[in-house]
Amino acid sequence: MEGRSRRRLLRLSKLYTFVTCGRARPEEGQGQIGGPGFSRVVFANDPDCFEATNLDYVSNYVSTTKYTLATFLPKSLFEQFRRVANMYFLVAGCLAFTPLAPYTAVSAILPLIVVIGATMLKEAIEDWRRYQQDIEVNNRKVKVHQGEGKFSDTEWKNLRVGDIVKVEKDEFFPADLILLSSSYEDAICYVETMNLDGETNLKLKQSLEVTAGLQTDTDFSGFKAIIKCEDPNANLYTFVGTMENEDQEYSLAPQQLLLRDSKLRNTDYIYGAVVFTGHDTKVMQNATSPPSKRSKVERKLDRIIYLLLSFLVLISFIGSVFFGISTKKDSRRDNRWYLKPDDSDIYFDPDRAASAAVLHFLTAMMLYGYFIPISLYVSIEIVKILQSIFINQDIQMYHEESDKPAHARTSNLNEELGQVDTILSDKTGTLTCNSMEFIKCSIAGTAYGHGVTEVERAMARRKGALLVDQPDTEQIIEGNHVVAKPSVKGFNFSDERIMNGNWINEPRSDVIHKFLRLLAICHTVIPEVDEVTRKISYEAESPDEASFVVAARELGFEFYQRTQSSISLHELDPLSGKLIDRSYTLLNILEFSSSRKRMSVIVRDEEGKLLLFSKGADSVMFERLAKDGREFEQSTREQINEYADAGLRTLVLAYRELDEEEYMEFNKKFTAAKNSVSADREEKIEEAADMIERNLILLGATAVEDKLQNGVPECIDKLAQAGIKIWVLTGDKMETAINIGFACSLLRQGMIQIIITLESPEILQLEKDGDKEAILKASKESVIRQIHEGKKLLGSSNTDSFALIIDGKSLGYALEDDVKNMFLELAMGCASVICCRSSPKQKALVTRLVKAGTRKVTLAIGDGANDVGMLQEADIGIGISGAEGMQAVMSSDVAIAQFRFLERLLLVHGHWCYRRISSMICYFFYKNITFGVTLFLYEAYASFSGKTAYNDWFLSLYNVIFTSLPVIALGVFDQDVSARFCLKFPMLYQEGVQNVLFSWSRILGWMFLGLCNANIIFFFCISAMQHQAFRRGGQVVGLEILGAVMYTCVVWVVNCQMALYITYFTLIQHIFIWGSIAVWYLFLVVYGAIPPSISTTAYLVFIEGLAPAPSYWIATLFVVTAAVIPYFTYSAIQMRFFPMYHNMIQWIRYEGKAEDPDYCHMIRQRSVRPTTVGVSARLDVKLSVASAQTLLPSRSAALARGQNKHAKGEQLARTDSVKGVVQHRSFVSVV
């Protein structure tokens, strides 16, 4: 309490750029208020007044559900019947109530109800969960002013526009509020916006000065104000409005706006006026659904359905034509006289044969509907959900340090994970840790810091040298023991020249003093003191900021307190050598932005001097130096380049002293710009800041390291071996990005770099001249010329590997409509692509270009809010749950904690999911064509009479009961190879990229197999049963017996076919396959025992007809054996002589050669393309160089080894022949 009381006495009227908002001048933009888009009026603390009740604003009740109780049935039914297959079955079900139907209406409608009902139930459960979350949020409590200075708890949903609320520490804001006051005297508060933009840093807000004195509940008893502001919109970072209080009008800005779902931090309480409620709040205005993504397999599935519907129409038309001809012939007395054509209705009337044919067409359309698998969609949804659960539960993708598992946020794209052709990755926080460490610096032209970065180690390895770290930990004495000083997060600096206060002995100690003081002052960090240990921790907007403040502390300048108007340091005095307390009055902070690329603070020291401290990118800082402030420019530039080569992120530090007159002029212009509510407010602020940030004196530069995440080089190596192309899109300098590329094995020694940049002397000279039109024309021509030169270089060599590196300026021109195709053609010919200085918009545009240009699956991976556009634009978005908040994760399709988990996600789960879904769909069509063609053949056999071969319920339960579970088990459990082999042989992944398992040839092959099986089943059963005595009394079979025999054979054949196809049996699959057959027999017994009025042709058919007849069992055995022989023969020949890549790996496992390195290497070499990226590529290059040096001896030795190995046994020789044939497989030849 004492600390808080002390804080309350201090004022912070000018802490941040946008903090101070005094009265706005009427001429500066208030004309917008009341106009279109700025018509909202809020009666603060008077929501019950007559004017307020007439405004009819929305309530604060928020609903995120997709349905309501009233709309669930119509909306969900509409969603289901948007699918053409479901619409077809609905029409067929309706026609089943007419005399045209070849089966009973109940048997047609019930399966459709089951399938649609199951999907609707899933939708209802998901929406119910959303509803429960809505209830929890809407019923949260907040204190609301009830009048006479009394506040009481009210549920969020009951808030109204104009209510005054009191929000306490660590509570969420219940609506969009105008900040009126807080527990701080100057009415500031700290806000966490992670739920809005994913950023974890705290943001500072401050109310108008006119309301800052409302410090207690009773102060609001007589408070009244009218707020006029913009209408509800989705922009989180802008707000324009005015507050009228006591006949005075004050301007409002984003600094006074507290957004719903933000959290109050480091502040005891705030008071606020509700301006936007419910779905008018900015967070709900932003709650748009993410872009709808459908996998390529799913889109192809739609085309297959259309193909089958076309086939269905065709055979129905053919059958109708034949039926019409046959019916017309019945007019002759000697033709089918037993059908009594003279006494027939329209369906068989020879005099109305054309009408009969049309009606038969409708009957056939219903009868042949079993070509379309009714349970396909619901089965796929079930399988994908179960696959997602397996991904979420994979312990190998669980990050223990952050306690974050993998999370498949959508199950729609599981199979797409197995078809990725190009990965577009962010760098900072994705490939690197986004955990910055201060490691080196340049002060007064002298380089300090002895640390060795990972990039430097990689560079040394490229040159064949070895770097040894110098000790980076100090030793301290505890008792009689010498122990290492504990490491400090964010600080990995080691240099005795300036550590432990030794900097005071350096030649330019005065510059070092200013440098360290700048580090300790020029920031927006918030210190927090642990009440128990009294240790200071820092809340920073970025890891860079935190590392600078920590470095200043470790080097003798400890920032320990920020108040409303000052920054306090424990500062090492160079004269006395002791720590002293110094306080600096904080006047202005000119914040960092991506366009400014710098930040500055203006302070007044204890001697009254006005100081401007500035830090920023070298590209903007050097041009702002004064003529007499460039003493160390040349050496600093050289050291910055060295730091960039070492993969470090650099900032230039500079300062200047201001005179009072200059500052007053700036502050007047700056304050006017801040108070403006016009559209060009930001431009005015930038203009004012630019005026003061000139004539700086250079102090030096900082260098921080963003270390690679664990396993990144190995992961990139595996992905490269899998044939996946990797692009890196980063905002870093080109030198830094290139060296990070070497460190993570994306680039390697000997790779030819095609660099496209606009840093040529000609372009730089034009920029100095300032002729914008000439700059644009020359820049575009330069980019086009460099692209053409790169394409020529690319075409000049078939053996070299290339890397394309392009900077942000050049990328802007390369993405223009008339250039982008040339750029893409060049990029796709390179093994690696690195885009430097890329903006978030450019990242999204590059992703769109690759996706549209290649028409292959693209995957984007990132961790920050600046990666959201890229993630949503790609076919698959992967969010890294890292240090930059959760916005990337919230916009992603799959979330993982580390980049290295991408290897297992794609090569294992992606490959399995693609194979399972592809095989599952192919099998679905196979089993339905097998079943449907038997119906067609029987109808043809019965003169296209529209008569079905099977009992109505046999038809209905085929897809729902007797063949549904085995195919689901296939989609969930089957594996062609284990996870270990997926990672050991990454090129297996190319089966998905090349779409080998779901190509049209494979789909039509499965359909052809179904056609063959149907013919075998029908003609063998007809031949076995026709004109043969079936029972002891000599009776021949009837329709009910023939139908049951054929159906038994169909159930056996399709389930045995499943058993032949599966490569990884589990107990569940055995139960489902053989259990489905057993359920068929059980159904025959139970259904046959039901009275014949219900069971019709199935009455006692098994007990009395089939079971006692040996011919039934013999025919079943013979037909099933004959039907599975074609696939068994094809599979054996293909596996033995024409194996696919997964077949070869299965041979390795079968023959026990999995641990034989020579054997495995031989399989890889015969089956994959050369790898040009990754650790393996480096090894291959080294081996090729070594072999070239000893060419003849190596060849002789290789031949000798090959002959010896060939002589060891027939088994290995056989495998050699297999591999020789495999080289001609289509997908292998491509890769």
Q: Is residue 784 very low, low, confident or very high in pLDDT (cuts 50, 70, 90)?
A: very high
**794 half-sphere exposure, CB direction, 13 A CA radius:** 21
Report d(CA 404, CA 1042) in Å as an integer.
59
678 pLDDT more than 70: no
308 pLDDT more than 90: no
DSSP secondary-structure letter at 1170? P
- 917 or 713: whose pLDDT is higher? 917
Q: Which residues contact 694 (CB under 8 A, 6 or more apart)?
A: 624, 626
Predicted pLDDT at 130: 79
What's the length of the chain?
1231
pLDDT digit string (tens) for 206-255? 898 889 889 899 999 889 999 999 889 877 777 888 899 888 888 888 88
Tell me the average pLDDT across 556-571.
Answer: 88
Structure tokens at 281: 């709040």
22 pLDDT more than 50: no
pLDDT digit string (tens) for 594-639? 667 889 999 999 999 999 999 998 888 999 999 999 999 999 999 9
End-to-end CA, the chain: 70
1174 pLDDT more than 70: no
Helix (H) / strand (E) element for 568: namely strand 566-572
Residue 15: CB atoms within 10 Å: 24
Residue 710 contacts residue 273 (beta carbons within 8 Å): no
Strand 802-806 versus strand 40-44 pairing type: unpaired
Structure tokens at 103: 């089966």
Structure tokens at 1136: 């033995």
Q: Is residue 339 very low, low, confident or very high in pLDDT (cuts 50, 70, 90)?
A: low
Q: Is residue 582 very low, low, confident or very high in pLDDT (cuts 50, 70, 90)?
A: very high
Tell me the average pLDDT across 1178-1200.
Answer: 43
pLDDT digit string (tens) for 702-744? 999 877 788 888 888 888 888 899 999 887 777 778 877 877 7
426 is catalytic: yes
Question: Which amino acid, residue 1167?
Answer: S
Torsional sign, CA 729, 733, 738, 742: negative
Predicted pLDDT at 162: 93
Instruction: State the Cα angle at 411 between 279 and 413, rounded to 5°.
Output: 105
Strand 857-862 versus strand 420-425 pairing type: parallel
Q: Which residues pair with 424 in a beta bridge?
A: 727, 860
Rama region for 293: left / alpha / beta (φ>0; ψ in -120 to 50; rest): beta
pLDDT digit string (tens) for 1045-1056? 999 999 999 999
3-state helix, strand and coil shares in percent for the chain, rounded to the nearest 5? 50, 15, 30
- Mean pLDDT across the chain: 81
Residue 191 contacts residue 290 (beta carbons within 8 Å): no
Tell me the average pLDDT across 1046-1075.
Answer: 93
Predicted pLDDT at 1158: 65
Predicted pLDDT at 736: 72
This model's pTM is above 0.85: no
Predicted pLDDT at 646: 80
Q: Select, from the ranges 644-658, 907-921, 1197-1211, the one with the highest average predicted confidence (pLDDT).
A: 907-921
Structure tokens at 426: 């962010």
Structure tokens at 27: 């001429």
Q: What is the Cα gyration radius of the chain? A: 38
Q: Which of 163, 186, 426, 732 is catalytic?
A: 426
Tokens 């609707």 found at: 120
Residue 263 contacts residue 170 (beta carbons within 8 Å): yes
